[in-house]
Amino acid sequence: MEKYRYSGVKILGSAKIDPFVLIGYPSQEYQSDALPTIIGNDPQIRSHTIIYAGNQIGDNFITGHGVLIREYNQIGNDVSIGSGTIIEHHCLIGNRVRIHSGAFIPEYSALHDDCWIGPNVVLTNAKYPRSKHVKDNLIGPVIHSHAIIGANSTILPGVQVGEGSLVGAGSVVTSDVPPFTVVVGNPAKLIKKITDIPDYAH
């Protein structure tokens, strides 16, 4: 099967799109014709990526292989998403965000400009997954600008990871992280300020 572009898809400039890519894929809930899909100039979309209808994506967008992006996301310029990552619907992803391979970004998450999501990071949005009204109470984490989430970390629903902060690899973050601090562990605890790290690029 060759690459396939559904109706309502607009790519605003030149593009490099591998075979076996689906763009504008209709969801069960929404009709694809009612959800325009716009991608900016110079995207590089690798094989077996599926982008649902209704996404608004900026310039210089790059995916690895096998990326899944659900509907109604706002994605900025110069965003890179690694192989095997899943982005659920209604997420906000800012400019120059780097999401590494195998990450999971659930509905209603916000990733602000220049943040960095390590490999196999899991964000969550359901405090009580088996509760009767779980879908009415979803709240995604907010990862603020220049924050870094280390590999294999888990961020709980609604947690605010502050600007310029660093979450150590393998951490479970259960409460808000202050700006420009370092947290590690399960549950994650503050261990130092970013300024305490020699030669750290602030």
**165-181 pLDDT per residue, tens:** 999 999 999 999 999 99
Higher pLDDT, 42 or 198: 42
By residue count, the chain amounts to: 202
Name 84's Cβ contacts closer than 8 Å, sequence gap at least 6. 64, 65, 66, 67, 101, 102
Q: Are 147 and 115 in contact (CB under 8 A)?
A: yes
Nearest to 44 by CA among 12, 67, 69, 17: 17
What's the average model confidence in pLDDT over 77-83? 98
What's the average model confidence in pLDDT over 123-140? 89
What's the average model confidence in pLDDT over 63-92? 98
Please determine, for residue 1, whether its predicted confidence score (pLDDT) is greater than 70. Answer: no
Domains of the chain (ranges, CATH numbers): 4-196 (2.160.10.10)
Q: Are 172 and 159 in contact (CB under 8 A)?
A: no
- Residue indicated by tokens 């750290």: 200
Please determine, for residue 113, whether its predicted confidence score (pLDDT) is greater than 90. Answer: yes
What's the average model confidence in pLDDT over 15-25? 94
Share of the chain above pLDDT 90, in %: 82
Please determine, for residue 60, whether its predicted confidence score (pLDDT) is greater than 80. Answer: yes
What's the average model confidence in pLDDT over 2-25? 88
Q: Tell me the whole-structure pTM to 2 decimals.
A: 0.93
Q: Which contacts qualify for 83-86: CB closer than 8 Å, 24 or more apart? A: 83/46
